[in-house]
């Protein structure tokens, strides 16, 4: 097994040095048999790298992005949150919104 493989795990975030994407990505799967690392970029795009390509990425560990909307493919409106500062139910209180929707 490659040494670098011992230092990564699913859920780890990396920033590639050499890649068509210039944004961080999360490891979402590792297939040891097929020798593939599955990743999801911060904008929601998914990709896979074979073990040789992974080494060429020169990826370095990084913190996850502050805004995970791209990864989750969601928008604040999807949850009924409106940043309008009116004090309406659900506008700024996620617990109240969950309660009002029976969740």
pLDDT value at 77 more than 70: no
Q: What is the pTM of this model?
A: 0.61
Residue 12 pLDDT: 92
List the single range of 17-21, 24-28, 85-89 with lowest mean pLDDT.
Answer: 85-89
The full set of domains in the chain, from first to last, is 3-72 (2.30.30.30), 75-103 (no CATH)
Residue 71 pLDDT: 58
Candidates 98, 14, 103, 87; CA nearest to 4 is 14
Residue 16 pLDDT: 85
Residue 5 pLDDT class (50, 70, 90 cuts)? confident
pLDDT tens sequence across 28-68: 999 889 999 999 888 888 899 999 888 888 889 998 888 66
Residue 89 pLDDT class (50, 70, 90 cuts)? very low
Alpha helix locations (H) across the chain? 51-57, 69-72, 94-100
User: Cα(10)–Cα(28) distance, rounded to whole angstroms?
Assistant: 5
């Amino acid at each position: 097994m490659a040494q670098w493989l011992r230092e990564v795990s699913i859920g780890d975030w990396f920033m590639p040095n050499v890649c068509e994407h210039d944004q961080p990505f999360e490891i979402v799967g590792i297939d040891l048999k097929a020798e593939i690392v599955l990743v999801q970029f911060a904008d929601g795009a998914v990709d896979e790298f074979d073990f040789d390509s992974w080494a060429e990425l020169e990826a370095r560990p990084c913190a996850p992005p502050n805004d995970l909307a791209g990864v989750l493919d969601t928008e604040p409106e999807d949850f009924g949150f409106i940043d309008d500062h009116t004090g309406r139910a659900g506008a700024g209180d996620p617990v109240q919104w969950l309660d009002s929707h029976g969740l």
